[in-house]
Chain A
Amino acid sequence: MTEPVFLGLPTAPPGVGHLRGRRPFPEAARTALGDAQLRRNLAKATGTIRAKRAAVVGEVPDWAELRAAGAAIKDQVLAGLDGYLVQLEEQVTARGGVVHWARDATEANRIVTELVRDAGADEVVKVKSMATQEIGLNEALAAAGIAAWETDLAELIVQLGHDSPSHILVPAIHRNRAEIRDIFLREMGKVGLPAPADLTDQPRALAEAARLHLRRKFLEAGVAISGANFAVAETGTLAVVESEGNGRMCLTLPRTLVTVMGIEKLVPTWRDLEVFLQLLPRSSTGERMNPYTSMWTGVHPGDGPQAFHLVLLDNGRTATLADPQGRAALRCIRCSACLNVCPVYERTGGHAYGSVYPGPIGAVLSPQLTGVADNASLPYASTLCGACYDVCPVAIDIPQMLVHLRSRVVDAKRGHSRVPSPEQAVMASAAFAMDSPARWTAALRASRLGRLLGGRRHRLTALPPPLSAWTGTRDAPLPPRQSFRDWWARR
């Protein structure tokens, strides 16, 4: 008998969904950085929400304990995921729901499309959901002739603008209200109730236009599609937390409800929600409580949807779980606190990351879901400043995970070619020089030659590649006449 060969677990397939960018991060970031309006919007929005979060987290005396509890509960779920998922399926089924298992985006999209067709609908209303953005559900439904209407205000702005989300919580963070007014005036009439012709860019007026436009959608839709913030394994209960109430409308009005949920969204018991319903709103919107918390368990005759389908989505999550140093990314409750404090995100915005999961959490999650080769630039899209870890409500050590994923990127490239890449050569020769005091001393003495490049300017203003990327915007000091170690040896 031959030894079995482990071929690895399937990652999210290419060609479907939104986990991969068309361009590497540095290139996409360059475009975003040149957009002055975007920079201003992002700085204002992230600055505001950062301050709100800090204030409401600061007033909780046992925040550190809550955070530790959140991390521990999620780790417990991940360690026993197989059991909890089966328990959830049993409970949902016993209460009149139907559970579907989707290996990846393609399967999930097919399942949902068939469910909508079976319900005889050609239109669905949607609750804001990261999972359905991840799998590209709207595009899959459109290909099947089904119109999916986003009902979250920001998602509606993104959809009407033929745009893509740039933030987990605030998907239209890159838009300002003048742009939103223009989008509403131009697009609403093409797909439903038009915006009033005298629409101003006042928030109240914009919200009212959206309310009237959406109300008709809610009343006409036979099917709603949602994601889930949490699923309780012991009771089969699903939970969605939101701010606007549109989710509540979707979850209660249509006859059929389809929920697409990543398999990591579980909590073991009802009581565990106590921890997360404190952690999530304070971390995400900077509120003590979110305005709407909807929970549902199966179906109830004469009350709410009469058919409930739960689609459990893997799409690279089991592959993520297989990495002991990467799996904590699955603790994520999509609060987006890490985006709001990230100095990189604040300047580039979300589109530069190329995935529906931007910012620090996206930089560790997207490459794991797709396999690091497909998002190799993302683990490097961070200065490792550590701000993300400090605010994470489930204590994901994102900086350490980024370093780990960088080593996976580097290791995956090893041996691909007999000729090392320039970076590999630099790193190898630096390590060689640094592994011997004699060679290191010689290298420092040789660096004095760099003084010649500086001439009489006492600084270096242009260096050859790759250091030209430094001197493009920054001077470099001249190497000193004498290194510290030479000074010490002669002192």
Chain B
Amino acid sequence: MRVALFVTCLVDGLFPDVGKATVALLERLGCTVEVPLAQTCCGQMHINTGYTREAVALVRRHAAAFEGYEAVVAPSGSCAGSVRHQHAWVADEAGDPGLAAAARDVASRTYELSEFLVDVLGVTDVGAYYPHRVTYHPTCHSLRVLRVGDRPLRLLREVGGIDLVELPQAEACCGFGGTFAVKNADTSAAMLADKMHHVLATGAEVCSASDSSCLLHIGGGLSRLRAGVRTVHLAEILASTRTGQPEVPPR
């Protein structure tokens, strides 16, 4: 299956290993992965901060970059959510029905990674091996925008060697919220404190999620506390095998 990777700007610029892991995982499962380099950012930061007008060009760029692919896969519930639930609205706001139609078309073929694995490829055991104690934060936009439900947990439960522990009050927001983390830094930090409290209560050595943005936040807090808990993206766990590091074959 020919799959376009919507790598997201955050993974592209700050967490390239998450992108590499996603490529390795999808290729291991028999997909032909392409990365349209015309992609940059879905514009969610602009949209969610009120800069809808500035986001129009990014929505147009995104729709053009991913035109014609059978499936578009993102290692992010939040960015996939923006494409599926915001792009057509931005186009409508700009009074551009052609763009809105194009955006809806791309949206209909866009999947968050766990959705793609479980619903499209029909796998939950991806042959991963990850011998660590892991707790999973399900992320707001995966849960309440995309409704991915327990798909990430079904994937994690099949991982060899994993010690998966339930995160208390898992469905509560970690307090990131994009520019909220800066505009309302104090409230954001208060929410993060509670999330970290629950993560630490599990005794896990790894906190995972399917969004690098939430992990940037939770990981930033844990690092500041020198808490000794790592944040690892779901794709990195699923890409890991008995040989250790994700296997990324040369092109």
Contacts and interface: CB of A to CB of B under 8 A. Distances in A.
B43 A29 contact: no
Interface residues of B, number: 74
Contact of A427 (B54, B171, B175, B248): B54
B224 A475 contact: yes
A80 interface: no
A291 interface: no
Interface string B27-67: 00000000101111101011111111111011001000000
Nearest to A397: B85
A25 B184 contact: yes
Interface string B224-251: 1000000000000000000000001011
Nearest to B19: A484
Interface size bracket, A side: 35 or more
A168 B195 CA distance: 27
Contacts of B141: 386
B9 interface: yes
Given A406-B49, A437-B38, A488-B37, A483 B13 contact: yes
Contacts of B220: 470, 474-477
A484 B41 contact: no
Contacts of B50: 379, 403, 406-411
A379 B14 CA distance: 29
Contacts of A29: 184, 186-187
Given A406-B48, A435-B58, A483 B16 contact: yes
B72 interface: no
Contacts of A384: 48, 140, 177-178, 180
A467 B50 CA distance: 19
Interface in A395-413: 400, 403, 406-411
A192 interface: no
A344 B187 contact: yes
B219 interface: yes
Interface string B101-120: 00000000000000000000
A469 B181 CA distance: 8
Contacts of B89: 400
A403 B51 contact: no
B199 to A, nearest CB: 14
A219 B185 CA distance: 51
Nearest to A477: B14
A484 B12 contact: yes
Most B CB within 10 A of own CB, among A382, A447, A484: A484
Interface string A465-491: 011011011111101101111011101
A459 B223 contact: yes
A430 interface: yes
B80 interface: no
Contact of B12 (A467, A472, A475, A485): A485
Contacts of B40: 433-437, 440
A451 to B, nearest CB: 12
Contacts of A433: 40
Contacts of A30: 186
A362 to B, nearest CB: 15
Given A403-B86, A431-B55, A474-B192, A387 B144 contact: yes
Given A470-B181, A475-B223, A434 B9 contact: yes
Interface in A22-70: 25-26, 29-30, 33, 39
Given A383-B180, A475-B223, A487-B16, A431 B51 contact: yes
Given A473-B221, A474-B189, A484-B19, A491 B250 contact: yes
B184 A386 contact: no
A380 B184 CA distance: 8
B99 interface: no
Contacts of B54: 427-428, 431
A475 B222 CA distance: 8
Contacts of A431: 43, 46, 51, 54-55, 57-58
A343 interface: yes
B3 interface: no
B173 interface: yes
Interface in B209-225: 216-217, 219-221, 223-224
Contacts of B37: 437, 485, 488-489
A390 interface: yes
Contact of A480 (B7, B16, B49): B16
B187 A33 contact: yes
B11 interface: yes
A479 B216 CA distance: 12
Contacts of B20: 484, 487
Contacts of B188: 383
B245 to A, nearest CB: 14
Which of B145, B182, B221, B250 neighbours the largest number of chain A CB atoms within 10 Å of its CB?
A: B182
Contacts of B248: 491
Interface string A14-27: 00000000000110
Contacts of B181: 469-470, 474
What are the 8 tightest A-B residue pairs by CB atom distance, in nearest-first order? A383-B177, A406-B50, A474-B220, A386-B144, A410-B50, A385-B173, A469-B185, A385-B140
Interface of B: 7, 9, 11-17, 19-20, 23, 35, 37-41, 43, 45-55, 57-58, 61, 85-86, 89, 93, 140-141, 143-145, 171-173, 175-192, 194, 216-217, 219-221, 223-224, 248, 250-251
